[in-house]
A and B are shown apart, each in its own frame.
Chain A
Amino acid sequence: MMATRTRTGILHEILALRKEGRGAEALHRLQGALRQRRLDPLEIDQAGRFLQQEWARQDQKAAGVRVLLLGQCTTSWLVPALVAVAWGRQARVQIEEGGYDTVLQDLARRPAQDSPDVVILLPWNQRLLGRTDVPPRQRIDEELAFWQEAWHLVHSRHHSRLLQVGYDWVDGGAAGHFLAGQPGGPVWLVREMNAALRERLPAGSFFLDLVQVSGASGRTSFYDMRRYCWTRQPFSEAGIYHLAEHVWAGVQALTVGPKKVLVVDLDNTVWGGVVGETGPHGIVLGDSGDGAAYQAFQRYLKELRSRGVLLAAVSKNNPEDARAPFQLNRDMVLHLDDFAAFEAGWAPKSVMLERVARDLRLGLDSFVFFDDNPAEQEQVRQALPEVEVVAVPSEPAEYIGALVDGLWFEAAAVTGEDRDRADRYQSEQARRQEQWSFASLEDYLRSLQMRAEVRPLDEADLPRVVQLLARTNQFNLTTRRHSREEVQALAGQSGAVALTLRGEDRFGDLGLIAVLLAVPAGDGDEPTVRIDTWLMSCRAIGRTIEHFLFTAFLERCRALGLRKVVGEYIATPKNGLVKGLYKELGFALLSADGAGASRYELVLEEARPPVTFVTAKG
C-alpha cells in the first residue's frame, strides 16, 4: 500500500537554503515535503540528520517530546528517521540513544530525576531464536524476565511511559515454512513471546507489534541482513522508515493521544458519483465494483466511530441532497446519526471545517480531512495547516489503506469512554440545536437537567483519568501529564483530596468528565491543600459543571478541617479559557512568575459556593 517515493532533490534544495542563511525556511520546506510523504527512505535519514544539526546549531535541544531509545540491536538509524517523521507530523522530538544491547545497564545507570517522556524498548531476536541449546520455553521466560526488569527499572525510578516493541522473525530458518510455526520453531517462539509481552506489559503502555509492521511492507524488503552483519542493525532503509512511523504513532498515542475527528467528504468519497446530479438512488454503492469499495469504506468508518473516533461530514451540496442517501438509499452503511457534525453547503471546505471544530469544541489539530478532490485537499492544506490532509488515492478500493497508512488513530488502549464518545457527541449535537431556541443561557442550562456525582478517585477510574490528563488542553489549570503511577502516588498521600465527576443530562450520559487532585501543602498550623491538577473534558465546558465540582471539593476540605486552598494556573497556548478561574472563585493572587505560572489562595472560611445548574445525582 506504500506510495511510490521518488528522490525529490529536496535535500539539495534545503542545503542551498541553509547556505543562504534561510534556515527557518529550509525547515519549513522540509516539513511540507515530509508531511506529504514525498521523501524516500534514504532522504528521510538525511532529513533527520539535517534537523538534528539545525537544532543543535540553534541550541533548542530542550524543546519537544523527550524519548529514550534502548535496543537489543543497533538503533542509530532509527534516531534520524524518528526525528524526520515527527517533524512531518509537526512535532519536535529529542532522542537519547542507549548503547548496543545494554538496555538494563543504561536504565540502572540513569539518574532517577532524569525522566524522559517515553522509553522505547526495541528487542532483537538473537537470543530468543539463537540460543538453540536452551529449551524454547526457558528462552521465552528469560527474555520476558529481561523486559520485566527493564519495565521495573523504568517505573520504579521514572514517570515515563513505555513503548515496548515486539519480536519478529526474518525467515523461518532451517525448520522451513511449515515447521517454523510448530512449537519450538522460530515463528512459534516469536508469537508466544509477543503474547507474553502483551499480557504482562504494565497498563498504560503501548505495544508495537513488529510482526504486523514488517508483514505489511513485506519482510524481504523490511530487513536487510547485510546491515545486521555490518553493524548489528537488521532493518533496511525502508524498514527503518516504516518502523519510525509506527514508533512515532505510538509516542503520539502515549503523549497527546490519537487524532479525534475524521472529516469526510461525501460525493466520490463515501459513495461514487455526485448525488446532486443522480439523486439518492443513482449513486454508486452496492455489492460489486466501485460500489463494493465505497461500502467497505463506509463499514471501516463505522468501525472507527465505534472505537471512539468522531466522524464529521463536509460536503459541497444542497443540504437536502447531501442527506437524502442516508435517509433513502438502503445500501448505505452509515447513517446520519453516525456523524457528530454534518455540514453541507457551498462555503469553502476550510470554513466548514472551522464550523465543525467550533461545534465539537475540539482543536483543528485533532482533525484528519479525507476528500477525493485534490483541489479541496490543497485548499484545506493552505488555509488550515494544523489539519492533517489525507492524500486520497484515485482508487476507492484503496481508501481504507490510505487511512491505515496514516496511523492517525493508533491508540494505546480503548476505554469504555472511547466507545461511547461518538454517541455522546451525537447527543451534544441535539443539545446545541436546542441551545439557540432558549431566551437566555440560564434557561438553556436549566433545560439540560444536568446531574452529576462527585466521588473520591478509585482504582477503576485510573485509565480514564490518565487519559484525560494526557489529552485535556483547554480546561486544564496546570496541564501536568501525570502517569498512572503518579496519580496513584498523589491520591494516595494522607490528606490528599482526589475527586472525579461523572455527569449526565437529559440527552444522555456524559461519563467521567472532570478530575481534581489536591495534595497537602505543608503549612504548619494552617492546614492547606494545593490543587495540583484540575481539568475538565471539553464537552463539559460552559455548563457550570466546574462549579458543582468545586462546591463538592470545598465541602470535602471543610470536612477534613482544612483552613486554606492554594490553586495554581500554568499558562499554555491552549488553556486561556481558565486563566481567570481562580479569581472568579474568590481566590486571592499570591504570586505570578514571568513564565505564565501564578499561585492563588483561598481561605475556606471566606469561600462561597459558585452558581451551578447541576444538581446532585441519586
Chain B
Amino acid sequence: MDDYLDRLNAVFQQVFLDDRLVVTRDTTAQDVEGWDSLMHVSLMVNVEKAFGVRFRSSEVAGLQTVGELIDLIRARQEATRRQ
C-alpha cells in the first residue's frame, strides 16, 4: 500500500522538480504548487511510464486526489494482468 505512495512520491518530486515535496492520499492539485492542467498531463505520462500503465482520457480528467490516482494505477495494472 505505502509502496505505491512512495513510488508515486518520487515521481511527483521529479515532475515538480522539488525533492522536498511530500504527497499523501489526500493531496489534491491545489496543494501542490504548479499543478495546473498542463502539468497534470506531464504528471500523467510520467506516472504511466513509472508504473507501466496507460490511462484513458476519461480517467485522467476525473482525478481529484492522489489516493484516487493510486486506485486508478492499481485498477489499470489489474486490468492489464487479466488480459
Which A residues lie at the B interface, using CB under 8 A? 11-12, 15-16, 19, 42, 45-46, 49-50, 53, 76-77, 226-227, 229-231, 233, 237
Contacts and interface: CB of A to CB of B under 8 A. Distances in A.
A231 B41 contact: yes
Given A229-B57, A231-B38, A46 B19 contact: no
A76 B38 contact: yes
A230 B19 contact: no
B45 A46 contact: no
Given A226-B57, A230-B57, A230-B60, A50 B42 contact: no
A13 to B, nearest CB: 10
A186 B17 CA distance: 41
Interface centre among B37, B41, B60 (most CB of A within 10 A): B41
Contact of B37 (A15, A50, A226, A231): A231
Given A19-B19, A42-B46, A11 B14 contact: yes
A15 B15 contact: no
Interface residues of B, number: 17
A225 to B, nearest CB: 10
Nearest to B15: A46
Nearest to A14: B17
Interface centre among B10, B46, B60 (most CB of A within 10 A): B46
Contacts of B13: 12, 15
Contact of B45 (A11, A229, A237): A237
Given A231-B41, A237-B45, A50 B60 contact: no
Contacts of A53: 17
A245 B80 CA distance: 34
Minimum-distance CB pairs A-B, first 10: A15-B19, A11-B14, A76-B38, A50-B17, A42-B46, A230-B41, A226-B57, A229-B57, A231-B41, A237-B45
Main secondary structure of the interface of A (DSSP, over half): helix
A46 B60 contact: no
B45 A42 contact: yes
Interface string B28-54: 000000000110011001100100000
Main secondary structure of the interface of B (DSSP, over half): helix
B41 A46 contact: no
A601 to B, nearest CB: 54
A50 B19 CA distance: 12
A12 B41 contact: no
Contacts of A19: 19
A76 B39 CA distance: 10
A230 B38 CA distance: 9
B14 A16 contact: no
Contacts of B37: 231
24 contacts: A11-B14, A12-B10, A12-B14, A15-B13, A15-B17, A16-B19, A19-B19, A42-B46, A42-B49, A45-B42, A46-B14, A46-B17, A50-B17, A53-B17, A76-B38, A226-B57, A227-B41, A227-B45, A230-B41, A230-B57, A230-B61, A231-B37, A231-B38, A233-B41
A415 B57 CA distance: 49
Contacts of A15: 13-14, 17-19
Contacts of A227: 41, 45
Contacts of B17: 11, 15, 46, 49-50, 53
A158 B57 CA distance: 42
A227 B38 CA distance: 10
Nearest to A40: B49
A606 B14 CA distance: 68
Nearest to A226: B57
A46 B39 CA distance: 11
B16 to A, nearest CB: 9
A40 to B, nearest CB: 8
Nearest to B56: A226
Nearest to B10: A12
Nearest to B20: A19
Nearest to A19: B19
A9 to B, nearest CB: 9
Interface centre among B10, B17, B60 (most CB of A within 10 A): B17
Interface string B1-26: 00000000010011101110000000
Given A46-B14, A229-B57, A12 B45 contact: no
A235 B49 CA distance: 16
B1 to A, nearest CB: 23
A354 to B, nearest CB: 39
A77 B38 CA distance: 9
A53 B17 CA distance: 9
Contacts of B38: 76-77, 231
Given A11-B17, A12-B13, A77-B42, 12 more contacts: A11-B14, A12-B19, A15-B14, A15-B17, A15-B19, A46-B14, A46-B15, A76-B38, A230-B57, A230-B60, A231-B37, A233-B41
Contacts of A226: 57
B55 to A, nearest CB: 8
A402 B61 CA distance: 40
A231 B10 CA distance: 25
A12 B9 CA distance: 12
A533 to B, nearest CB: 43
A100 to B, nearest CB: 11
Interface centre among B10, B15, B45, B49 (most CB of A within 10 A): B45
Contacts of A46: 14-15, 17
A42 B43 CA distance: 10
